[in-house]
């Protein structure tokens, strides 16, 4: 028997969409909802896409769900900085998709190379055409490496990494730090907002410093930040850097990388040239390529995807929904937000398929933890309610960020990760 969506939401705990609200769904979507078994194709099985697939099937067994994902395993970006700091390996963050099978989801491991939004079908690399009534795109981000001169050559030579998508580059960056001599310089270049996991570069610097303190105490970290200041958990990071790693982390704000020379291992910013032994250059992101195929990269810069706040339907392309980091939004681009968006989208589609309007005014809760060592961490927690007049999610009173990392929150961080993996993957 399918679980009733409304009853489920009454008892959902932390990490679940507590209320489902927002701008009313377009009447065209309601009018054209297919009678019979609706077909939903989801591209991308990360925290947004896999969650949406699971809850669609939980809440309405009549919905046929096809989940397309190029990777045969799930690689977790949350906690991937622990790999950089030597606290975990990528094996610890590699999960199976097998848990999704019990929900009756059809899993296809392939790449989407074309989307016909008029005929409503997608084409895969193997040549399959898969039709849909509604399409959900949750591809994460692409990195705009072309904005940094010399990046492609340096990456091809294996001299720099971004390690901003968990996997082989995460492991490579760890190996580069292990090979770096004591007294070496690790340079991290962080892009300006909006970006995925805005606190990630600061956490990375902290955990690299934790490793250096034990193994390479003469080494230094230079953090080049394109933003004007630490934009997430600033007091916590400053406290950790001054007390645990004094003199080891050189934070340089308002310093955007524009060029890299892998032969001299130099990063060029708008103001200075910085040489390092290991270069970790994180370019700006944009909505994944499948969003461009669907014509959904439709903000003024052609980078992110504006959506309806209730259904996550593209404001440009009907019957195409966008989840996660690709969305043009004032919400954090985080795993927890993506997971919540997957549930809101699933609930809205169930309402549409059953001839009803989705609940108005969605509420999303987001909690994000960042480690400052192998035993200390701190969270930031916010609740956001959709305001249809402003067409944005508005932060509600309460919540906020920890000013000091501690051992209790380190344990909470581990539990948070285990719970969100279980909720996403079955």
Gap between the Cα atoms of 164 and 168, Å rounded:
11
Average pLDDT over residues 56-80: 98
For the chain, which domains are there?
5-70+110-143+285-421 (3.50.50.60), 155-281 (3.50.50.60)
Predicted confidence (pLDDT) at residue 350 exceeds the cutoff of 90: yes
What was the pLDDT predicted at 35? 54
Gap between the Cα atoms of 275 and 268, Å rounded:
9
Average pLDDT over residues 274-282: 98
Instruction: Write down the pTM of the prediction.
Output: 0.91
Instruction: Give every strand in the sheet of 134-137, ordered side by side.
Output: 106-108, 64-68, 39-43, 134-137, 320-322
Gap between the Cα atoms of 290 and 60, Å rounded:
26
pLDDT digits (tens, 9 = 90+) for 216-245: 999 999 999 999 999 999 999 999 999 999
Average pLDDT over residues 208-222: 98
What letter does residue 144 receive in the DSSP assignment? -
Average pLDDT over residues 317-335: 95
pLDDT digits (tens, 9 = 90+) for 354-396: 999 998 889 999 999 999 999 999 999 999 999 888 888 999 9
Average pLDDT over residues 114-133: 98
Average pLDDT over residues 111-127: 98
Average pLDDT over residues 2-7: 44
Q: Is the dihedral of CA 11, 12, 14, 16 positive or negative?
A: negative
3-state secondary structure of 310: coil
Find tokens 């310089």 and name the residue: 185
Least confident of 45-54, 138-147, 386-395: 386-395
């Amino acid at each position: 028997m399918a679980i009733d969506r409304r009853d489920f939401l009454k008892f959902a705990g932390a990490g679940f969409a507590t209320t489902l609200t927002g701008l009313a769904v377009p009447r065209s979507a309601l009018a054209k909802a297919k009678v019979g078994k609706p077909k939903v194709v989801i591209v991308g099985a990360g925290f947004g896409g896999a969650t949406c697939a699971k809850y669609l099937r939980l809440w309405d067994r009549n919905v046929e769900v096809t989940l397309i994902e190029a990777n045969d395993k799930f690689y977790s970006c949350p906690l991937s900085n622990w790999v950089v700091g030597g606290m975990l390996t990528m094996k610890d963050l590699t999960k199976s998709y097998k848990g999704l099978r019990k929900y009756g989801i059809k899993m296809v491991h392939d790449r989407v190379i074309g989307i016909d939004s008029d005929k409503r079908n997608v084409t895969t690399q193997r040549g399959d055409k898969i039709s849909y009534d509604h399409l959900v795109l949750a591809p994460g981000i692409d990195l705009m490496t072309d904005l940094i001169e010399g990046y492609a050559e340096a990456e091809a030579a294996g001299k720099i990494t971004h390690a901003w998508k968990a996997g082989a580059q995460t492991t490579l960056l760890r190996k580069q730090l292990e090979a770096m001599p004591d007294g070496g310089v690790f340079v991290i270049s962080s892009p300006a907002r909006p970006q995925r996991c805005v606190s990630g570069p600061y956490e990375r610097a902290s955990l690299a410093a934790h490793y250096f303190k034990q193994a390479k105490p003469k080494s230094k970290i230079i953090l080049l930040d394109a933003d004007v200041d630490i934009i997430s958990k600033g007091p916590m990071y400053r406290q950790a850097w001054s007390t645990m790693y004094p003199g080891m982390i050189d934070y340089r704000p308002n310093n955007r990388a524009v060029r890299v020379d892998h032969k001299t291992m130099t990063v060029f910013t708008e103001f200075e040239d910085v040489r390092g032994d290991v270069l970790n250059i994180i370019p700006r992101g944009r909505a994944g390529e499948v969003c461009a195929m669907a014509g959904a990269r439709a903000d003024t810069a052609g980078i992110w995807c504006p959506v309806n706040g209730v259904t996550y339907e593209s404001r440009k392309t009907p019957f195409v929904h966008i989840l996660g980091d690709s969305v043009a939004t004032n919400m954090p681009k985080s795993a927890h937000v993506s997971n919540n968006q997957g549930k809101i989208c699933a609930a809205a589609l169930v309402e549409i398929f059953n001839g009803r309007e989705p609940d108005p005014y969605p509420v999303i809760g987001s909690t994000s933890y960042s480690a400052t060592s192998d035993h200390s961490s701190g969270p930031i927690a916010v609740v956001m309610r959709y305001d249809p007049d402003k067409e944005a999610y508005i932060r509600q009173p309460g919540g906020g960020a920890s000013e000091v990392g501690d051992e209790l929150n380190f344990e909470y961080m581990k539990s948070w990760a285990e719970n969100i993996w279980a909720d996403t993957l079955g």
